């Protein structure tokens, strides 16, 4: 069959005016640079459309979501355990204009569309959606950067503080409720990532088998006889009291009371 396919393909090319061969686009999920590739825990989730490039290490239970890019091409990127890198986020490093790797601790949450460039994020901190943390900045433990804020180069955010704005400034200290909510979100995201990992690991055959079983179950449900809905006014299986052939039906308990 393979030879027949090649022959048909060659015949088709022969009658074309301009020959074109479509090439298979290689996966960019894991890419090595200068012989150094990512080191990724088997217990983490990396979405099929995410790109992890170069000298990058990712710990247990972490998740790299759809469209995210982590580039350790000119310096190293380290990501701890149970850390979430949101959809379309970018994590990069610096080497030419300052020697800054990127270090991200445990239980860190980076929102969708955020940029972390050559910075240090310590355990439990939160970077909001579309926020930017620039070269040499340090975000200490359990600190929050509000969505769309810009943390300028060299800025240090102390533990447990909320910063917001462009450029980002301290707003206030975080409450215990806010810190607890962030910790709970880390656990929930880790659980959700495992569900996505299971679904993305399925091959074509498994997906088709599950779809077939679902169709069978749906067909059986439609063809099975449905149980009649019980009327709450039913009396001894004879239906609700009423008039049949001009005879008044009475609930037996009511009739007993009258007698």
Q: List the chain domain ranges.
A: 25-189, 204-223+233-258
Write down the H helix ranges in the chain: 2-14, 176-200, 204-223, 252-258
Q: What is the pLDDT of residue 245?
A: 45
Name the pLDDT band for 115 (thresholds 50, 70, 90).
very high
Q: What is the pLDDT of residue 243?
A: 47
Which of 67-76, 178-187, 197-206 bottoms out in mean pLDDT, i.e. has the lowest? Answer: 197-206
67 Rama class: left (phi>0) / alpha (psi -120 to 50) / beta: left
Dihedral over Cα of 53, 37, 27, 29: its sign: negative
Kindly list the distances between the CA atom of residue 99 and the CA atoms of 10, 36, 38, in Å, as whole numbers in the listed order: 53, 18, 20
Q: How far apart are CA 243 and CA 61, in angstroms?
A: 69
pLDDT tens track for 31-87:
999 999 999 999 999 999 999 999 999 999 999 999 999 999 999 999 999 999 999
pTM of the model: 0.74
Mean pLDDT of the chain: 87
Residue 256's pLDDT band, with cuts at 50, 70 and 90, is low
Report the distance separating Cα 107 and Cα 98, nearest Å.
27
**Helix (H, G, I), strand (E, B), or coil: what is residue 177?**
helix
pLDDT at residue number 230: 62
**Chain segment 89-112, per-residue pLDDT in tens:** 999 999 877 789 999 999 999 999
Does residue 120 register a pLDDT over 50?
Answer: yes
Highest average pLDDT, of 155-159, 197-201, 242-246, comes from 155-159
- Assign a CATH topology to domain 25-189: UDP N-Acetylglucosamine Acyltransferase; domain 1 (2.160.10)
Give the model's confidence band at 246: pLDDT under 50 very low, under 70 low, under 90 confident, else very high. very low
């Amino acid at each position: 069959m393979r030879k027949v396919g090649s022959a048909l393909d060659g015949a088709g090319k022969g009658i074309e005016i301009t020959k074109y061969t479509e090439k298979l686009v290689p996966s960019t999920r894991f890419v090595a640079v200068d012989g150094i590739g990512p080191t990724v825990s088997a217990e983490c989730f990396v979405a099929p459309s995410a790109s992890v490039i170069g000298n990058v290490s990712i710990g247990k239970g972490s998740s790299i979501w759809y469209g995210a890019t982590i580039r350790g091409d000119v310096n190293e990127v380290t990501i701890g355990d149970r850390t979430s890198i949101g959809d379309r986020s970018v994590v990069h490093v610096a080497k030419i204009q300052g020697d800054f790797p990127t270090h991200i601790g445990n239980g860190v949450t980076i929102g969708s569309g955020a940029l972390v460039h050559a910075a240090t994020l310590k355990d439990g901190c939160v970077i909001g959606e579309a926020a930017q943390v620039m070269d040499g900045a340090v975000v200490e433990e359990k600190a929050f950067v509000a969505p769309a804020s810009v943390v300028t180069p060299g800025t240090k955010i102390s533990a447990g503080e909320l910063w917001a704005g462009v450029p980002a400034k301290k707003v206030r200290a975080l409450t215990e409720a806010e810190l607890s909510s962030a910790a709970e979100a880390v656990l929930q995201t880790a659980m959700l990532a495992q569900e996505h990992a299971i679904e993305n690991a399925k091959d074509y055959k498994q997906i088709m088998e599950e779809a077939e079983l679902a169709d069978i179950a749906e067909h059986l449900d439609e063809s099975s006889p449905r149980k009649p809905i019980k009327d709450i006014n039913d009396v001894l299986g004879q239906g609700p009291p009423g008039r049949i052939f001009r005879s008044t039906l009475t609930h037996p308990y009511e009739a007993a009371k009258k007698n």
